[in-house]
A and B are shown apart, each in its own frame.
Chain A
Amino acid sequence: MYRKCLKMTGILLLAALFTTVAWSSVQAEEPQITIDFWVGGGNRHIPGYDTPNHGDWERLLAREFEKLHPNVKINVEIISFSDIEQKVNVAVAGQNPPDILYDNIPNRVMRHARNGELEPLDAVVSADRDDWKEDFLAMGTHNGVLYGLPLSSTPTMMFVNKTILERKGVAHLLPEDRHWTWEEWEEVMAAVSDGRIYGTAFHALNEQADQLMVCHLVGAGSAWLSDDLTEFVINSPEGFEALEFMVSLIEKGYVAPGPASMAPGDALELFQQGRVATLQYVPAVYERVAAAIEAGAADPTIQLYGMLPPTKEDVAPRLTVTGEEGYALFKQDDPYKKEICLEFIEFLASPEHVRLLNQATVKIPARYSATYEIEDPEISTMMGKLAEYPVLDIGKSLEKYADTRQLFYPEMQAAFLGLKTPQEALDSFVSKANELIQK
């Protein structure tokens, strides 16, 4: 009996050992990995795909990649742009960042590159580098190494709701050259503003889309930064004149109420409701308004007319740029996981995916092969017009650029509310911002 028990125990032990070895060898062939993929904002309304909500596109691509790699699980987390910076900072401070991040490359991602938190992405573009536009890759390059891979960028522009102008009998003031001087813009706003409808909307709740307000501030010809990017110079007489003009529009009742506490999304919401006649925003509004009308969430009578940013007489428009979202990979300990992550980024940044994303958001693609046809003549005309004008460098390559944004919007709030004069607000911002970048 005793020997029988001993035999059985021996057989069981051998079986367990064999199973463990076999299972380990199976595991070694296909290690299960999980990728945490954090997405700022998230994309939707991708042509040909059922993607009605923000982030549907990223979730769809993650599921497609998982089908190609059954041992890979991708956790997609969609985070609003107003919260993603803090969330990533907290995660990095806790030594628990995501694996892959989709966020604005110059605004936020490059800080982590400078701090040595990111893996190089040169391998992702090495096979088809010629297809990538060098000025886009430069945005994500630090010390000659690519850390952030932007997929697009978008210039800012002005939208006019032609329907409001027609109802007010001033549609004839729409210029064919797509540009108003300040006087012409103010004339239109005076004609349409009636206490329920407003000429335009400003926003200064936080740093989101502050490039739209910067575009107005340089409308009198002021520079934003010095040529060598070592100091802010917007508190020039021309900068003061531009902010004074903006404040005068608020005082005259041409600007939607509450600019100091308005978010850019709130301003767009007012425009979609037909409560605001002109709005400085990005070309993606063409798609957003169309989708909102289809969903019954916008005034169906809106007719969009694209314009260049208004400027003082004899001052040529300059465009600010935003929307430089792309991918970054945080440092990986596991070489296999790093390999899969790089493969996933390459998958996400394929020419087809970049084309579809830019087509949906009316942005400029970072790849030559991702160029898309614009069928709508209005959008096509406007994008062609925007390509003729120079882009203003607002210092996104500066190490402390993200921190200077936190100093800008409180001063705009103070100016809009009359707590400070325009000169005081700009002087205060320039003084604090220069102290920060020169530290």
Chain B
Amino acid sequence: MKRDTLWGYLFVVPNLLLVLTFLIYPLLQAFRLSLFDAGLYSQTFVGLENYREIFRDDVFLISLKNTFYFVILIVPAVIVTALTFAALMQGFKQRTKAVYRLIFYLPVVMTPVVLSMIWRYMFNPSYGLVTYFAELLGFGMVDFFSSQTSALLALSFVVVIWMLGQPIILFLSAIDGVPPELYEAAKIDGANSLQAFFRITLPMIMHATLLITVTSTISVFQIFVVIHLISGGGPYHGTESLVYTIYNTAFVSLEFGKASAQSVVLFGIVAVVAAIQFRLMKPSMN
């Protein structure tokens, strides 16, 4: 083996060990455990029985449905909103851009726990800030958690606010990388701002859009903290996501085999969705 190649492998080995220990090994263990009826103290091989059980479990099916609702609501909202803000900020001076970047990125650096606790108080129907302003405007008391639909929408809004910062930064960076000659040429050809945006900017930043779409989708599929701290999965499982169900199955019911089976299903879904997204968006990049 060439010396350079050897050094390359040596530098990669520590990271590889971390990935093997904290990603690959737990993944393989989850696959293995999903075939067992595993509690705290015993494991019995049951084959695919856990998978049969979870697809007969109403709560799991509801959480699967809710997770897809979250993805459908949140991911497009994040992409469209972030892209809109990034496009609007494109013409700002650098200093103004920096101020807005800070404002939008603040929720990202705040821990989700703090964010969730603040929103929980804001959503309180009796003394929360949302009800206070609603009453000032004459709407009366607002209880977002009086129905499953409004609870889902409320939590989706919180997640969108939290997730906006990073896509905006990425879009800004991608838009800055578009050669200005293309816009000049378009202007000469008589294109207006909107035409330039849809015909030049959007295609040129497709790589960033793909990255944001895939990472946002994966993040939303794993949504947990806001649900645990704001709604507790309620009302009546109305905001319960897959990861929240996995958490309850593992650490409340102590059914680690079943929780592993649920995790494997989640892994499969995320892998398929990410693959579809790559397939759909790659031609546009080319």
Contacts and interface: CB of A to CB of B under 8 A. Distances in A.
A binds B: yes
Contacts of A92: 40
A261 B151 CA distance: 10
B40 A413 contact: no
B256 to A, nearest CB: 7
Contacts of A410: 234, 236-237
Interface in B118-151: 124-127, 141, 143, 145-148, 151
A270 interface: yes
A260 interface: yes
B127 A273 contact: yes
A244 B61 CA distance: 29
Given A410-B234, A413-B234, A419-B236, A260 B126 contact: no
A134 interface: no
Interface in B139-174: 141, 143, 145-148, 151
B143 A413 contact: no
A256 interface: yes
B126 A256 contact: yes
Contacts of B148: 419
B39 to A, nearest CB: 9
B235 A86 contact: no
Interface stretch (B23-31, B68-76, B85-93, B246-254): B246-254
Contact of A257 (B41, B143, B253): B143
B232 interface: yes
B232 A206 contact: yes
A170 interface: no
A93 B151 CA distance: 33
A414 B236 contact: yes
Given A258-B125, A270-B126, A406-B248, A417 B253 contact: no
Contacts of B126: 256-258, 266, 270, 275
B251 A261 contact: no
A158 to B, nearest CB: 20
Contact of A85 (B147, B231, B237, B252): B252
Interface string A397-438: 000000100100010011011011000000000000000000
A258 B254 CA distance: 30
Contacts of A143: none
A258 B146 CA distance: 6
A273 B128 CA distance: 13
A402 B145 CA distance: 25
B235 A261 contact: yes
A369 interface: no
A261 B145 contact: yes
B229 to A, nearest CB: 10
Contacts of A93: 40, 251, 254, 256
Interface in A77-94: 85-86, 89-90, 92-93
A266 B127 CA distance: 10
A257 B124 CA distance: 9
Given A410-B236, A417-B146, A261 B252 contact: no
A261 B146 CA distance: 8
B224 to A, nearest CB: 12
A260 B143 CA distance: 10
Given A115-B40, A413-B234, A413-B236, A258 B127 contact: no
Contacts of A89: 40, 251-252, 254
A90 B231 CA distance: 22
Interface in A290-349: none
B253 A403 contact: yes
A161 to B, nearest CB: 15
A205 interface: yes
A257 B237 CA distance: 19
Given A85-B252, A86-B252, A413 B124 contact: no
B251 A86 contact: yes
A257 B148 CA distance: 15
B117 to A, nearest CB: 12
Given A257-B143, A261-B231, A406 B252 contact: yes
Interface string A198-210: 0000001110000
Interface string A111-140: 000011000000000000000000000000
Contact of B236 (A256, A258, A270, A417): A417
Nearest to A403: B253
Interface string B225-249: 0000001101111000000000110
Across the A-B interface, give the 5 residue pairs with the lowest CB-CB distance, nearest first.
A261-B145, A257-B125, A258-B125, A260-B235, A414-B236
10 contacts: A93-B254, A116-B41, A204-B234, A257-B125, A260-B145, A260-B146, A261-B234, A261-B235, A269-B127, A275-B126
Given A205-B232, A414-B235, A419-B235, 14 more contacts: A85-B252, A86-B251, A89-B40, A92-B40, A93-B254, A115-B41, A257-B141, A258-B145, A260-B236, A403-B253, A413-B234, A416-B235, A417-B146, A420-B236
